[in-house]
């Protein structure tokens, strides 16, 4: 009973665009990609790059008929034993990209998406967020079902193949979220939120309950043995967590070898509050480290006001930052100097942070990450003109770098860079088929002069779910949704 290699389930023939490195994007005029069925893991079995554009300016669309790919396809057919009807030749206006990864999103807050730009973080939590999350109590399951199925479907349609979710303090409704994710086929990390102090009376836990309910949730998810679904330890943030809660969650993460998520240094008042609550600790990040919550599997959102010392601690521990530029601006938290983090060796991914951020789209986050870096560059140039000295020209981020953060960066935060982030043999087939053809609709207009690189940039800045012909997670087509 030897293990058979997985069989090819589906083969796509078409253009392929992905990150080669932080600075470089690979433009493939024609690739042949074969992957196994979702039941056998949806793994990529081969990627044949038949025609590659060496330079962006030379990447004008080559018609498929001018690319000699038939013999390669026939060779693969013999080698892997797939049938002609398993082969799908994409339109010449389409291209395949790796699925987008959202490393920070609050599922219950989706009901508030688009609200709340009038208040800074701490007031925003009390006025908008805690009351909205509190609606997900055990007597309100229909509401949870409605909100959670809406947000997961929205994420999939927008090409988010992997999400890292905060839910609420209620275990039962958090399990409803996990069930919906499993049913719709997204790859996800799901956390039951933990908070035992400095919270409203209608939305707070006892310390022991918070830890025991989290453990029960973790066991329930692990028992499902769904390789797309993982539990994640989720203290909301330091101000709503007692020392006992942080210690208990640190022990739990260690016991089950789990990923951890929380927030750090989002807002200046929050940073001051943490100093008051834990005067004996060196920094906000140090609090997490002290309670064994800063590991190579930790994702901390924001980090706008982290010090260089905290950057070094993050690097040393292998923890990563989820950059949430829309939320950082929307609820007036700060501007994250991403370049500084990257230069200091800290891992960075992107997060929508709904509903601090108003949209579940990682494409929108890509745009704002670029704009935020441009603003930081302008502030630096103005400062140097005013105060003298030499300007640092390396603050702004390019579209190539931010696309890398949206795909490879996210996979690095999840410690799955060997399985996600690019379309390569041995990785999972998590991908989007992007269509810029006229029949796609949407607002991306392309012209004959546009190279493959131009088309991709237009998609990054103007595309949306109307341009997503298909979305795959682990080899399963998860969008368009089955009728």
pLDDT in tens, the chain (483 residues): 455 678 999 999 999 999 999 999 999 999 999 999 999 999 999 999 998 888 877 889 999 999 999 999 999 999 999 999 999 999 999 999 999 999 999 999 999 999 999 999 999 999 999 999 999 999 999 999 999 999 999 999 999 999 999 999 999 999 999 999 999 999 999 999 999 999 999 999 999 999 999 999 999 999 999 999 999 999 999 999 999 999 999 999 999 999 999 999 999 999 999 999 999 999 999 999 999 999 999 999 999 999 999 999 999 999 999 999 999 999 999 999 999 999 999 999 999 999 999 999 999 999 999 999 999 999 999 999 999 988 888 999 999 999 999 999 999 999 999 999 999 999 999 999 999 988 888 999 999 999 999 999 999 999 999 999 999 999 999 999 987
Give dist(CA 103, CA 416) in Å, integer: 13
- The pTM of the full predicted model, rounded to 2 decimals, is 0.98
Q: Could you count the other beta carbons within 10 Å of the beta carbon of residue 325? A: 29
Q: Could you count the other beta carbons within 10 Å of the beta carbon of residue 206? A: 11
DSSP states along 111-147: GGTT--TTS-HHHHIIIIIHHHHHTTSTT-HHHHHHH
Structure confidence at residue 4 (pLDDT): 64
Q: Could you count the other beta carbons within 10 Å of the beta carbon of residue 373? A: 23
Give dist(CA 195, CA 203) in Å, integer: 9
End-to-end Cα spacing for the chain: 39
Task: Scan for tokens 């069989």, then name that residue.
Answer: 7
Structure confidence at residue 3 (pLDDT): 58
């Amino acid at each position: 009973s030897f293990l058979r290699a997985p069989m090819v389930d589906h083969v796509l023939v078409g253009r392929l665009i992905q990150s080669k490195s932080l600075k470089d994007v690979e433009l493939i005029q024609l690739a042949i990609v074969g992957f196994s069925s979702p039941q056998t893991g949806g793994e990529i079995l081969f990627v044949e790059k038949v025609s590659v554009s060496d330079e962006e300016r030379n990447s004008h669309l080559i018609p498929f008929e001018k690319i000699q790919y038939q013999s390669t396809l026939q060779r693969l057919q013999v080698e892997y034993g797939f049938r002609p009807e398993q082969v799908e030749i994409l339109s010449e206006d389409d291209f395949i990209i790796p699925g987008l990864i959202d490393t920070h999103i609050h599922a219950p807050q989706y009901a508030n998406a688009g609200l709340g730009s009038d208040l800074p973080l701490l007031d925003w939590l009390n006025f908008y967020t805690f009351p909205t999350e509190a609606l997900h109590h055990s007597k309100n399951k229909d509401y949870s079902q409605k909100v959670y199925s809406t947000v997961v479907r929205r994420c999939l349609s927008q090409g988010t193949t992997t999400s890292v979710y905060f839910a609420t303090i209620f275990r039962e409704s958090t399990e409803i979220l996990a069930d919906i994710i499993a049913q719709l086929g997204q790859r996800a990390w799901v956390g039951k939120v933990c908070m035992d102090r400095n919270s409203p009376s209608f939305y707070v836990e006892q310390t022991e309950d918070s830890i025991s309910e989290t453990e029960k949730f973790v066991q329930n998810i692990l028992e499902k043995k769904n390789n797309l679904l993982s539990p994640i330890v989720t203290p909301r943030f330091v101000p709503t967590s007692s020392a006992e809660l942080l210690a208990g969650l640190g022990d739990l993460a260690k016991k089950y070898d789990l990923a951890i998520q929380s927030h750090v240094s989002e807002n200046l008042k929050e940073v001051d509050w943490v100093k008051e609550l834990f005067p004996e600790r060196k920094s906000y990040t140090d609090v997490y480290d002290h309670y064994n919550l800063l590991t190579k599997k930790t994702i901390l959102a924001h980090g706008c006001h982290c010090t260089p010392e905290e950057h070094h601690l993050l690097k040393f521990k292998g923890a990563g930052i989820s950059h949430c530029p829309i939320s950082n601006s929307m609820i007036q938290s700060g501007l994250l100097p991403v370049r500084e983090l990257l230069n200091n060796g800290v891992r960075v991914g992107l997060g929508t942070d709904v509903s601090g951020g108003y949209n579940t789209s990682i494409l929108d986050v890509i745009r704002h990450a670029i704009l935020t870096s441009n603003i930081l560059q302008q502030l630096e140039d103005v400062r140097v003109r005013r105060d003298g000295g030499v300007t640092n020209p390396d603050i702004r981020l390019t579209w190539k770098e931010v696309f890398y953060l949206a795909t490879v960066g996210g996979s690095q935060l999840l410690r799955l860079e060997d399985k996600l982030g690019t379309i390569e043999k041995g990785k999972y087939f998590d991908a989007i088929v992007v269509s810029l053809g006229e029949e796609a609709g949407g607002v991306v207009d392309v012209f004959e002069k546009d190279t493959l690189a131009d088309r991709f940039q237009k998609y990054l800045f103007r595309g949306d779910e109307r341009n997503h012909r298909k979305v795959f997670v682990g080899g399963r087509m998860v969008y368009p949704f089955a009728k």
